């Protein structure tokens, strides 16, 4: 995501020397813009969940704190195992470290085979919410029920090529449906406009079956595509945008 916009949170602080020679930190105009945009989106029942996948991991704690100060609603953690998607990223120790420095809820996007094997580990690290894929999960209902039995919120994710119709049986049991607007596995991808009709269909399903369920949109979300995404689910009452801020500084 490029400035101005919520992505500015990631690089929202500058260091400068004051007259005394002491180095201090001041807030850049970009963070002010980010806060304004977040307030505006909240007025339309839209939440922001910055993904740490695009963070500068040398400054991860600092950037997550910046997200919180700017008004983000939660932190999105992309977990990959190199099997379900062709990449490896972020394990439970990262979540445990972040839990010490943020009060925001942490939702775990499990782009992994056999997510059930890792639930206890991520819960012990401080996770609050699990998003599991419909694809390659022969026992999705069992996975969702186990997450709920462990006292956590559960959501289901569908890839761009997966039709909305697969949600019919699982929708009553989940707290969020996350629609991927890129193919999972890598950051900094371009938003797929072809997913807009599906976002609209999922929104209609939610409104009909479980209005309290959240609708999430993940992939290529920035200041420009957030508006494009809005045309897909304008009538939904609870929307979550998964923004992928670019690290700066």
For all residues of the chain together, what is the average pLDDT?
Answer: 80
Give the tens place of pLDDT for each residue, 171-201: 999 999 999 999 987 767 788 899 999 999 9
Greater confidence, 129 or 51?
129
Query: Average pLDDT of 76-99?
Result: 94
Catalytic residues: 78, 218
CATH of the domain at 81: 3.20.20.70
Q: Is the pLDDT of residue 7 over 70?
A: no
Rounded to 5 degrees, what are φ and ψ at 177?
-110, 125
Range of the domain at 52: 6-13+34-243
Tell me if 28 is assigned to some domain.
no
Tell me if 27 is assigned to some domain.
no
Half-sphere exposure of residue 81, counting CA atoms within 13 Å on the CB side? 12
The full 3-state SS of the chain, as one line of letters, equals CCCCCHHHHHHCEEEEECCCCCEEEEECHHHHHHHHHHHHHHCCCEEECCEHHHCCHHHHHHHHHHHHHHCCCEEEEEEEECCCCCCEECCHHHHHHHHCCCCCEEEEEEECCCHHHHHHHHHHHCCCEEEEECCCCCCHHHHHHHHHHCCCEEEEEECCCCCHHHHCCCHHHCCEEEEECCCCCCCCCCCCHHHHHHHHHHHHHHHHHCCCCEEEEEEEECCCHHHHHHCCCCCCCCEEEEECCCCCC
At 35, is the pLDDT very low, low, confident or very high (cuts 50, 70, 90)? low
At 241, is the pLDDT very low, low, confident or very high (cuts 50, 70, 90)? low
Give the tens place of pLDDT for each residue, 20-33: 444 444 554 444 54
Tell me if 248 is assigned to some domain.
no
At 237, is the pLDDT very low, low, confident or very high (cuts 50, 70, 90)? very low
Greater confidence, 158 or 231?
158
Tell me if 19 is assigned to some domain.
no
| Domain total in the chain | 1
Tell me if 226 is assigned to some domain.
yes
Q: Give me the pLDDT at residue 167, please.
A: 97
Q: Determine the Cα–Cα distance for residues 156 and 52; give it in Å rounded to an integer.
A: 20
Q: Determine the Cα–Cα distance for residues 226 and 229; give it in Å rounded to an integer.
A: 5
Q: Taking the mean position of all CA atoms in its chain, how far away is CA 30?
A: 21
Q: Give me the pLDDT at residue 136, please.
A: 86
Tell me if 25 is assigned to some domain.
no
Task: Classify strands 74-81 and 105-111 as parallel, antiparallel or unpaired.
Answer: parallel
Q: Give me the pLDDT at residue 20, please.
A: 44
Tell me if 26 is assigned to some domain.
no
Q: Give me the pLDDT at residue 240, please.
A: 56
Tell me if 24 is assigned to some domain.
no
Q: Is the pLDDT of residue 58 over 80?
A: yes
Q: Determine the Cα–Cα distance for residues 170 and 214; give it in Å rounded to an integer.
A: 14
What does pTM read for this prediction? 0.77
């Amino acid at each position: 995501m490029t400035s101005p916009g919520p992505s500015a949170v990631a690089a929202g602080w500058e260091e400068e020397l004051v007259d005394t020679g002491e180095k201090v930190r001041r807030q850049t105009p970009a963070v002010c813009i980010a806060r304004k945009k977040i307030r505006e989106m909240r007025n339309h029942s839209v939440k922001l969940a910055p993904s740490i996948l695009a963070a500068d991991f040398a400054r991860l704690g600092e950037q997550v704190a910046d997200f919180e100060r700017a008004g983000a609603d939660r932190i999105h953690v992309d977990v990959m195992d190199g099997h379900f998607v062709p990449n490896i990223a972020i394990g439970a120790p990262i979540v445990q470290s972040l839990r010490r420095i943020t009060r925001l809820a942490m939702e775990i996007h499990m782009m992994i085979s056999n997510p059930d094997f890792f639930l206890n580990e991520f819960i012990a690290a401080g996770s609050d919410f699990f998003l599991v894929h419909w694809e390659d999960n022969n026992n999705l209902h069992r996975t969702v029920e186990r997450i709920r039995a462990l006292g956590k919120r559960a959501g289901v994710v569908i890839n761009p090529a997966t039709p909305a119709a697969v949600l019919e049986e699982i929708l009553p049991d989940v707290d969020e449906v996350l629609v991927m607007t890129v193919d999972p596995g890598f950051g900094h991808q371009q938003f797929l406009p072809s997913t807009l009709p599906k976002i609209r269909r999922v929104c209609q399903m939610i409104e009909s079956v479980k209005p309290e369920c959240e609708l999430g949109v993940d992939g290529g979300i920035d200041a420009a595509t957030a508006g494009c995404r809005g045309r897909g689910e304008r009538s939904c009452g609870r929307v979550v945008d998964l923004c992928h801020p670019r690290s700066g500084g």
